[in-house]
Every structure is written in structure tokens, then in C-alpha cells.
């Protein structure tokens, strides 16, 4: 088993270092991380790469243990056959909790209305990414939260930056989406047909 100590490393370094091991054709990997966001990011990455993952908590953090099994689930899920030949992949990247500049109350109202109206895109809306102040829209009590949850239930992928949640001390208040890292975000942007930035 190949071991990797990622304690003290900022996102996305733990995932990138884990990816290097996966790319080297490692079949059994143990990754030591020291925070909840890194544990979730590394675990999800390894699961998506076709590994069976178990997590052991200890005094030094978390040990993510992965053993390779079968086909890469992410590749299967993101295939054209799964998405449909006609479907576009539109990603909306939300970097703020307000829309536009000027009055903050108006900006929040516009953002709430925008997120509630996104469902009109239908199957073309593939992914919502929340970074920086945008992550505040995914926590308990956020006005647009029900609209985001409805989109997620309809099959839209919702990604929420783990570094941003940690920075704002909101990791335990997130109510929707998957806690993610910059590698997942960059990969999603890369395979999107169109990206809308807010």
C-alpha cells in the first residue's frame, strides 16, 4: 500500500498529490489528512476513480484508505450516453451571494430570483458551482437554498468549494451540494459546453 501524508496542505494539494498516486497506477492507497474538507475531497476523488474507500479517524486527523475496484464511476456518469447526445452541459459559477453592484438588498433579491429561474434551462443546466461568497447561498437559512435543493433533486450537479466553506467557518452549515475542491471545479469547467459566471 502506498502512503501519502497530506497534513497541513491547502486545497487542492491533497487531491492533486492523491491524483499523482492514482496516475502512477497505484491500486492500494492510504492518505493522511488533517481536516474535514480534505477528507471529503480525497474520499470523493478516490471513489470517483473506482476505489473502495474507508476512513479511519485518529489523533492526527483522518486516514483515507482506498483499494482499486473496477471502472471509473465519474467517467461513466459523465459519458455522452448518460447525458444524452442532445444535452448541452451548461455550468453556472456563482462567486458571490449578491447579483451586481449597488444596493445589497436588491442584489440578494436578484440572486434569489435568478437561482429560482434557472430551472427554465431544463436538461441543459448541468452543474452549479459555488465559490467565495457564493457558498453562503448553500447554508441553512439562506433565502435561495430551497431553489438550489430543488435543482439538485432534479439532477443538477451542485458543487460547493470546501476551502471557501472552511474559510468562512461554514462547513457544518452547508445544506446542499457536494463539498468540492479546485481540481473538481477546473475539471467540470473544462468539460462544460458553456460556463456562465456570476
Residue 129: which of 90, 92, 170 has the closest Cα?
92
The pLDDT of residue 94 is above 90: yes
CATH 3.40.50.620 for domain 2-75, yes or no, is no
**Does residue 72 register a pLDDT over 70?**
no
33 sits in which H/E element: strand 28-33
Domain with CATH 3.30.110.40 in the chain: 2-75
Whether 66 and 46 have beta carbons less than 8 Å apart is answered as: yes
* pTM score: 0.64
Give residue 16's pLDDT band: very low, low, confident or very high (50, 70, 90): confident
Residue with cell 460556463: 195
Instruction: Report, as an integer, the average pLDDT of 47-62.
Output: 84
Residue located via cell numbers 486527523: 61
Q: Is the peptide bond before 12 cis (omega within 30 degrees of 0)?
A: yes
At 47, list the grid cell. 471513489
- pLDDT digits over 99-140, tens only? 888 888 898 989 998 898 888 888 889 999 999 999 999 999
pLDDT score, position 70: 57
Dist. CA 64–CA 42, nearest whole Å: 8
User: Could you tell me the maximum CA-CA distance found in the chain, to the nearest angstrom?
Assistant: 56
CATH 3.40.1260.10 domain residues, the chain: 80-197
CATH class of segment(s) 80-197: alpha beta
Q: What is the pLDDT of residue 136?
A: 95
Q: Which residues of 52-74 are buried (b: 16+ CB within 10 A; e: fewer)?
A: ebeeeeeeebbbbbbeeeeeeeb
Residue 82's pLDDT is what?
42
Let me know: does 127 contact 192? Beta carbons within 8 Å.
Answer: yes
pLDDT above 80 for 54: yes
Q: Residue 23 pLDDT more than 80?
A: yes
Amino acid at each position: 500500500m502506498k502512503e501519502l501524508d497530506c497534513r497541513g496542505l491547502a486545497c487542492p494539494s491533497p487531491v492533486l498529490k492523491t491524483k499523482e498516486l492514482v496516475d502512477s497506477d497505484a491500486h492500494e492507497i492510504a492518505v493522511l489528512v488533517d481536516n474535514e474538507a480534505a477528507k471529503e475531497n480525497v474520499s470523493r476523488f478516490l471513489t470517483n476513480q473506482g476505489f473502495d474507500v474507508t476512513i479511519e479517524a485518529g489523533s492526527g486527523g483522518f486516514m483515507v484508505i482506498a483499494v482499486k475496484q473496477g471502472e471509473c464511476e465519474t467517467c461513466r456518469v459523465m459519458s455522452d450516453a448518460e447525458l444524452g447526445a442532445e444535452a448541452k452541459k451548461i455550468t453556472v459559477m456563482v462567486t458571490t451571494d449578491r447579483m451586481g453592484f449597488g444596493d445589497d438588498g436588491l442584489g440578494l433579491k436578484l440572486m434569489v430570483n435568478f437561482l429560482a429561474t434557472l430551472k427554465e434551462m431544463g436538461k441543459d443546466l448541468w452543474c452549479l458551482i459555488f465559490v467565495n461568497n457564493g457558498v453562503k447561498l448553500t447554508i441553512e437559512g439562506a433565502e435561495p437554498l430551497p431553489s438550489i435543493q430543488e435543482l439538485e433533486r432534479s439532477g443538477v450537479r451542485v458543487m460547493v468549494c470546501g476551502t471557501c466553506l472552511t474559510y468562512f467557518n461554514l462547513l457544518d452549515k452547508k445544506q446542499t451540494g457536494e463539498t468540492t475542491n479546485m481540481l473538481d471545479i477546473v475539471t467540470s469547467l473544462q468539460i462544460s459546453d458553456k460556463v456562465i459566471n456570476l
